[in-house]
Amino acid sequence: MGRRRILFLTGTRADFGLMLATLRRIQATPGLQLEVAVTGTHLSREHGHTVDEVRASGLPVLAEIPVDVLTRTGASMALAIADVTRGMTQLLERARPDALLLLGDRGEMLAGAIAALHVGVPAVHVHGGERSGTVDEPVRHAISKLAAYHCVATEAARERLVKMGEWPERIVLTGAPGLDGLQELANPSREETLSALGLPAAQDFVLALFHPVVQQAGEAAQQTRSLLQALGELGLPVLWLEPNADAGAREILAALDAAALPPGSRRVQHLPRAQFCAAMRHCAVMAGNSSSGIIEAASFGTPVVNVGTRQHMREHGANVVDVGTEAVGILAALRAQRSHGRWPCDNPWGDGRAGERIAQALATLPLDSAVLEKTNSY
């Protein structure tokens, strides 16, 4: 019997970074062969052309599927799903992997799940069953209903999938793959990290990462201005990582262009994951609405100010404070979190061994055509 061929679809710097340790584990597992399909912002110069990082990882890239990530409207996002569906359908029909591995809640993953089900390739979905609000939650649940198997991060996510009618025996509790190897990635000292990031030495800084909420794209500029105002009044240097390509990103970038960050700050298009993790470990506060603040930051005890509704109702540790999008509330939370300092490194999202569990599942779960015959469990 030959090796099982696993195809991973990646569309952003975020999903690839989160999954890299798991992908390496899959690649090293006897009986498994890993390949990667690349799409989305990976292929965009404006977003750092991070396909170069995918290739530099040494993982075999089977195909590149270009899509429009620069228009940044709700309509362009929907059309991109159509383009990825077409590209993935053609790729899956030609390559015929044994399984398609998908992460999270983005449109590229929904496209992959649609294509896989119709072509007859079982999809394995990581991070299903979570609540997050906004456009992400229904997309996440849609992927779950199209997938053959689920690798979930928490017990609550498993229970939610069961309530959605997914069969319990098709759900594997693995933990969040983004925690695998996290401490090693963030190993550089504070001094080394500040130097590498070009931030003032021996000074506290804020790590800011604020993405648009698709349904609130028209409010993205004002929300960004509120966050900028609060950060300005706090007065610490800010390392601001630019947003994804969703509807509202242009408005966020325009608000950034029109404002000045505090002295000593840096605004960057992209950071290699190791630098990003080190920044998350050593910052005084992390602010914005990235899932990394919800999931990974707890492993460092990093104080987090979660702004707005993008991570609405997401499970999180005590290190995260949820606030609205008004400057006064953001500033109060920033000051309180800075004053509090580090939290206990208690992470409800797993133990850093998700990769080995996911690889084991891919090596042993049935992948014959029968798993495509999905019905609700009730």
Q: Residue 124: which CATH number?
A: 3.40.50.2000
CB neighbours of 244 closer than 8 A, spacing ≥ 6? Answer: 12, 14, 41, 211, 212
**Domain annotation covers residue 345:** no
In angstroms, the Cα distances linking 234 to 52, 287, 321, 327 are: 37, 12, 17, 11
> Would you say residue 241 lies in a domain?
yes
Q: Which pLDDT score is estimated for 266? A: 97
Residues 6+ apart with CB under 8 A from 148: 99, 122, 123, 124, 170, 367, 371, 372, 374
- pLDDT attached to residue 202: 86
> What is the pLDDT at residue 313?
87
Same domain (yes/no): 143, 208: no
Residue 378 maps to a domain: no
Task: Determine, yes or no, domain membership for 347.
Answer: no
Tell me: do 60 and 165 sit in the same domain. Answer: yes
Same-domain status, 92 and 174: yes
Count of domains for the chain: 2
Residues 48 and 167 in one domain: yes
Report yes or no on 213 lying in a domain. yes
Together in a domain, 193 and 173: no
Who contacts 206 (Cβ-Cβ below 8 Å, separation ≥6)? 231, 234, 236, 237, 238, 239, 283, 284, 285, 286, 287, 334
Do 137 and 214 have their domain in common?
no
If asked whether residues 233 and 123 sit together in one domain, one would say: no
pLDDT along the chain (378 residues), means of 10: 92 96 98 98 94 96 96 94 98 98 97 98 98 89 98 98 98 98 95 96 96 94 98 98 94 96 96 96 98 97 97 93 98 98 95 97 96 94
**Are 40 and 164 in the same domain?**
yes
Integer Cα distance of 53 and 335 in angstroms: 36
Residue-level pLDDT at 1: 57
175 and 306 belong to one structural domain: no
Q: Are residues 249 and 282 in the same domain?
A: yes
Judge whether 63 lies within some domain: yes
| Rounded Cα–Cα distance for residues 86 and 129 (Å) | 26
Assess whether 194 and 165 both reside in one domain.
Answer: no
Residue 206 lies in a domain: yes
Token readout for 200 is: 């003032």
Q: Domain limits at 288?
A: 182-340
Rounded to whole angstroms, the Cα distance separating 237 from 263 reads 6
Same domain, 194 and 325: yes
Give the pLDDT confidence score for residue 135 in this predicted structure.
Answer: 86
Answer whether 238's CB lies under 8 Å from 231's CB: yes
